[in-house]
Amino acid sequence: MAQEVAIKRVQELIGDRLSLAQSVRDQHGHDEFHHHQASPDAVAFALSTEEVVAIVNICRETGTPLIPYGTGTSVEGHIQAIHGGISLDVSGMDRVLAVNPEDFDCTVQPGVRRKQLNEYIRDTGLFFPVDPGADASLGGMTATRASGTNAVRYGTMKDSVLSVQVVLPDGRVITTASRAKKSAAGLDLTRLFVGSEGILGVITEITLRLYGIPEAISAAVVSFPSVDEAVSSVVTAIQSGIPIARVELLDEVLMAAVNAYSGFDYPAEPTLFMEFNGTIKSVEEQIEMMQAIVAEHGGGDFNWASDEQERNRLWQARHDSAYAAKALREGCELWGTDVCVPLSRLTECMRQTRQDLESCSLPAPMLGHVGDGNFHLIFVLDMSNEAEIKEAEGYNERMIERALAMDGTCTGEHGIGLGKKDFLVDELGETVDVMRQLKLTLDPTNFMNPGKMLDIAPVRSVAAE
Amino acid sequence: MAQEVAIKRVQELIGDRLSLAQSVRDQHGHDEFHHHQASPDAVAFALSTEEVVAIVNICRETGTPLIPYGTGTSVEGHIQAIHGGISLDVSGMDRVLAVNPEDFDCTVQPGVRRKQLNEYIRDTGLFFPVDPGADASLGGMTATRASGTNAVRYGTMKDSVLSVQVVLPDGRVITTASRAKKSAAGLDLTRLFVGSEGILGVITEITLRLYGIPEAISAAVVSFPSVDEAVSSVVTAIQSGIPIARVELLDEVLMAAVNAYSGFDYPAEPTLFMEFNGTIKSVEEQIEMMQAIVAEHGGGDFNWASDEQERNRLWQARHDSAYAAKALREGCELWGTDVCVPLSRLTECMRQTRQDLESCSLPAPMLGHVGDGNFHLIFVLDMSNEAEIKEAEGYNERMIERALAMDGTCTGEHGIGLGKKDFLVDELGETVDVMRQLKLTLDPTNFMNPGKMLDIAPVRSVAAE
């Protein structure tokens, strides 16, 4: 079989860095949320762009599906090997290649993780802001157009990537842009690969924008009598132009879970986690304005994180909140929804969603990057129970319908993967055909992460195998 | 001939909004810089997306080149009808379709001009920041990935466009995204069309991000003993994290021209035009920090624009500086260079460029969006004089080589058009082949603005005509 030929050829190339071990294959066949396990036939651990090129060529020539893999922390089934094939693990390509503090940029290999980068550049006075919950790889974050708690102030991966080096499905290696801060040099291929979910090529280098660590950083936690009031206060703050750096909503269910998981004793009430960045004076001013708004909306006192250590503990708890949710029910999986709507519709969208949830039988904590209009429900469910899956599916579907009717999107930051292909069509219609055309232009035999983001049938050379 | 058939069919469609008048054709055959006149065979004034679809279909079916046209204020030969055909003028599609102040966004037709939009939304307390020199159309600004004086703080069109409606070469009408502030819904087609220079389709609607008008705005002008010191002070300011809203360098030659053209009496010395935005306190703080930096670099006193009127006069003079340069030599044309380099290389790049200029026989004022590492020389030359053209070409080429060697780009904001196709290849190599593949996927017969950005030969159906 062609696939066996591919595995043999890759083995000749990288020796025992090609693994056939069941445990390794299984580890590469699932992500952090509910999508079913689909293990690859082999896992190739690449250490250089040259190796990636060679493996891409082998897979194309043999019609073997190739699935790029960073840390496996995505959540929409991006890395499942649903058509078999080889998982290309780039976690060993983990070097920071260059840091240019004067230019506020750096270039990294795709296996570098976000925390590793921030530790590496700490002495420069700079930081990299994009922070999904997991300590994800920057290659994976680029490929899924990730964001996180800092997006309201610093944007998402779309705004943070200056350039990428990509191995295309035909084996060419291209770099999409220079290091200039702005450019009008041709089609914006950088942004085409940011969020391409592994279907257009393998990202092998990323040049990222960095930001100065602010002179002053203050973080606080504040409780509200209702989700409505918490959300309204954020909407007012954003509309008043307060340049808040982070503002995260956790509902009463999630707060209870976070208290239990991370050892806090905050009230189990709708809560905002906030952070203010700037000069000392400007942070004081932002806090003053925010306190007035919070008071108007019935919010409680600001509970300050007293120092950097306490602040880090606070944000780690926020980042761990999905794991806190998981701890609510033993042996269960998470199913995260991920809609984003224009800010003016957020309060209404969340209210309707909570009304819908009243009859829900599953734990479903709610979590929001409310400054961006983006929020999640995290269902904690037994994946062997069809009724529970059906129930979560129903809520997810209604939530997306609601968001689309409000001119929002079916995914603010998780991506399409396996889980949202039909919703992508609901959202963008014929535009998805154009995505399909572009995909098939660069990958005519559809061997690069087939079956993700776009339905393309038949999977030609895989079918021919 | 097929072209005549096309003209006849478009005439049947839109009647006397199809013009064959020489003056109208000539007006649509040149832009604001030095590229040679190339008039279209006809100009079609479209008033709706439906008309654009019909005209696109006619041109495709007949193999007639179609060139989208907004205000004709681009500068790299984007609108010249070098293969003849029909200029599609969308300036009559000039309605603001929606303003959502609570969401900080609006949707406009492509013929809306930037000043028109800002007047329209003035009462909302919001503004649209992207401001190239000309009062350009938002469709053209989107198509060229324009920027301007506010880019250092607010970004370029890349950062300002949330979504576009596009008529594709095959007549399909797609919308690339929802109004959500962030999304991970599939390939980022929005950014593919931002900067596509009319080669991938006709932009018929644009949804734009807006920003709150800051509580405090202060603008000042300050002179320096040398360009070096002016640039170094900006580099230091940016690296210190001062969130300066605008910071523009004009060299001594340009200052003299601006004084003459706009009736100012600033010293004819290297000068920075600056603006600070924020709360009252934060603007005070920014100014204090900036004054210290400027003093360290031998800069003079800050010359404040006392009120809004004076400030507008100042920035209008800055925006008119290309026209001021043009007034230096009667009957001459402008040739603007447009490199952008990482900030750490800017001082050196400008210094080497000025050294190179010492033997230049043409007026060549220098102008820089220095906060972004982007600067221009504006040659004022007699386009009937081959020697002058050769001279400007030589400087342009050396300047681009210098920028590329410093990991910069051949165009920070003007685009590729006719003028920089070879430099695009110098900058990005094989990446340009990928752009070509994508172009031919969406426009296999290459009738959409043929010959711009990418060399594609032969122009198939045009050649077959």
| pLDDT tens digits, A387-428 | 999 999 999 999 999 999 999 999 999 999 999 999 999 999
Q: What is the DSSP letter of B388?
A: H
Q: At what angle do helices B2-14 and B49-62 cross, to 10 degrees?
A: 160
- Any domain includes B301: yes
- Any domain includes B183: yes
A168 vs B contacts (CB less than 8 Å) = 434
Look at A281 and B281 and tell me if their CB atoms are within 8 Å.
Answer: yes
For A17-43, b where at least 16 C-beta lie within 10 A, e where not — what string? bbbeeeebbebbbbbbbbbeebbbbbb
The runs of H, that is alpha helices, within A63-176 are: 114-120, 138-143, 151-154, 157-160
B177 vs A contacts (CB less than 8 Å) = 409, 428
> What is the predicted pLDDT for the residue at B312?
93
Instruction: Give B88 to chain A, closest Cα distance, Å.
Output: 21
Q: Are residues A162 and A248 in the same domain?
A: no
Q: Round to whole Å and give the CA distance between A132 and A413.
A: 9
Q: Are residues B317 and B372 in the same domain?
A: no
Any idea what the CATH number is for the domain that residue A74 is in? 3.30.43.10
> What is the predicted pLDDT for the residue at A464?
41
Q: Round to whole Å and give the CA distance between B297 and A112.
A: 39
CB contacts < 8 A (A, B): 269
Q: Give the number of C-alpha atoms closer than 13 A to the C-alpha of residue A423, restricted to the C-beta side.
A: 30
Q: Integer distance in angstroms from the first to the last C-alpha of chain B?
A: 7
Q: Are residues B182 and B221 in the same domain?
A: no
**Which residues 228-247 of B have a C-beta within 8 angstroms of A?**
235, 239-241
A340 vs B contacts (CB less than 8 Å) = 180-183
Q: Are residues A29 and A86 in the same domain?
A: yes
Taking the Cβ of residue A368 and every Cβ of chain B, the question of whether any pair is shorter than 8 Å is answered with no
Q: Which of A296, A324, A352 is the last residue of a domain?
A: A324
- Helix or strand run (H / E) with residue B139: helix B138-143
Please give the ipTM for the structure prediction: 0.96
Q: Which two tokens stand for residue A455?
A: 């339905």
Q: Which of A179, A187, A214 is the closest to B192 by Cβ?
A: A187
Any idea what the CATH number is for the domain that residue B295 is in? 3.30.70.2190
- Any domain includes A254: yes
Q: Which residues contact B273 (CB under 8 A, 6 or more apart)?
A: B149, B219, B220, B221, B246, B247, B248, B250, B314, B315, B318
pLDDT digits (tens, 9 = 90+) for A314-357: 999 999 999 999 999 999 999 999 999 999 999 999 999 999 99
Taking the Cβ of residue B401 and every Cβ of chain A, the question of whether any pair is shorter than 8 Å is answered with no
**Which residues 18-57 of A have a C-beta within 8 angstroms of B?**
none
DSSP string, B82-104: BTB-EEEE-TT---EEEEEGGGT
Q: Are residues A227 and A203 in the same domain?
A: no
Q: Are residues B406 and B347 in the same domain?
A: yes
Q: Note the Cα A36 to chain centre separation in Å.
A: 19
Cβ B52 vs Cβ B88: under 8 Å: yes
- Any domain includes B146: yes
Q: Which of B303, B324, B345 is the last residue of a domain?
A: B324
Q: What is the mean pLDDT of residues A143-165?
A: 97
> What is the predicted pLDDT for the residue at B458?
52
Cβ B46 vs Cβ B55: under 8 Å: yes
Q: Whose structure tokens read 């690069």?
A: A448
> What is the predicted pLDDT for the residue at B464?
41
Q: Is the pLDDT of residue A176 over 90?
A: yes
Q: Are residues A87 and A103 in the same domain?
A: no
Q: At what angle do helices B431-442 and A431-442 cross, to 10 degrees?
A: 140
Q: Are residues A226 and A319 in the same domain?
A: yes
pLDDT digits (tens, 9 = 90+) for B187-227: 999 999 999 999 999 999 999 999 999 999 999 999 999 99
**Which residues 150-179 of B have a C-beta within 8 angstroms of A?**
151, 156, 158-159, 168, 172-179
Any idea what the CATH number is for the domain that residue B338 is in? 3.30.70.2740
Angle (CA) B329 B333 B334, round 5°: 100
> What is the predicted pLDDT for the residue at A458?
52
Q: Which two tokens stand for residue A304?
A: 């300050």
Query: Across-strand partners of A43?
Result: A19, A87
- Answer with the residue of higher pLDDT: A140 or A461: A140
Q: Are residues A185 and A281 in the same domain?
A: no
Instruction: Give B120 to chain A, closest Cα distance, Å.
Output: 19
A411 vs B contacts (CB less than 8 Å) = 183-185
**In terms of Cα–Cα distance, which of A455, A420, A239, A425 is closest to A338?**
A420
Q: Round to whole Å and give the CA distance between A452 and B314.
A: 53
Taking the Cβ of residue B437 and every Cβ of chain A, the question of whether any pair is shorter than 8 Å is answered with yes
Q: Round to whole Å and give the CA distance between B318 and B132.
A: 10
Q: Are residues A306 and A407 in the same domain?
A: no
B337 vs A contacts (CB less than 8 Å) = none
The runs of H, that is alpha helices, within B320-420 are: 321-326, 343-357, 386-405
Query: Across-strand partners of A98?
Result: A107
Cβ A235 vs Cβ A343: under 8 Å: yes
Q: Note the Cα A321 to chain centre separation in Å.
A: 15
Q: What is the DSSP letter of B297?
A: T
Statement: the pTM of the whole predicted model exceeds 0.90: yes
Q: Is the pLDDT of residue A258 over 90?
A: yes
Any idea what the CATH number is for the domain that residue A152 is in? 3.30.465.10
- Any domain includes A455: no
Taking the Cβ of residue B434 and every Cβ of chain A, the question of whether any pair is shorter than 8 Å is answered with yes
Q: Round to whole Å and give the CA distance between B281 and B277.
A: 10
Task: Give the range among A90-99, A292-301, B132-141, B453-462 with minimum mean pLDDT.
Answer: B453-462
A374 vs B contacts (CB less than 8 Å) = 180-182
- Give the structural domain span for A178: 96-212
A373 vs B contacts (CB less than 8 Å) = 180-181
Taking the Cβ of residue B212 and every Cβ of chain A, the question of whether any pair is shorter than 8 Å is answered with yes
- Any domain includes B445: no
> What is the predicted pLDDT for the residue at B90?
98
- Any domain includes A463: no
Q: Are residues A290 and A247 in the same domain?
A: yes
Q: What is the residue type of B126?
A: L
Query: Number of folded domains in chain A?
Result: 4
- Helix or strand run (H / E) with residue A4: helix A2-14
Q: Are residues B307 and B268 in the same domain?
A: yes
Q: Which of B194, B212, B230 is the last residue of a domain?
A: B212
Q: Round to whole Å and give the CA distance between B338 and A133.
A: 41
Cβ A86 vs Cβ A8: under 8 Å: no
- Any domain includes B386: yes
**Which residues 113-142 of B have a C-beta within 8 angstroms of A?**
none
What does residue A38 show for φ and ψ, rounded to 5 degrees?
-150, 95
Q: Round to whole Å and give the CA distance between A281 and B192.
A: 40
- Is it true that the peptide bond before A214 is cis, omega within 30 degrees of 0? no
Name the stretches of chain B with pLDDT < 50. Answer: 459-465
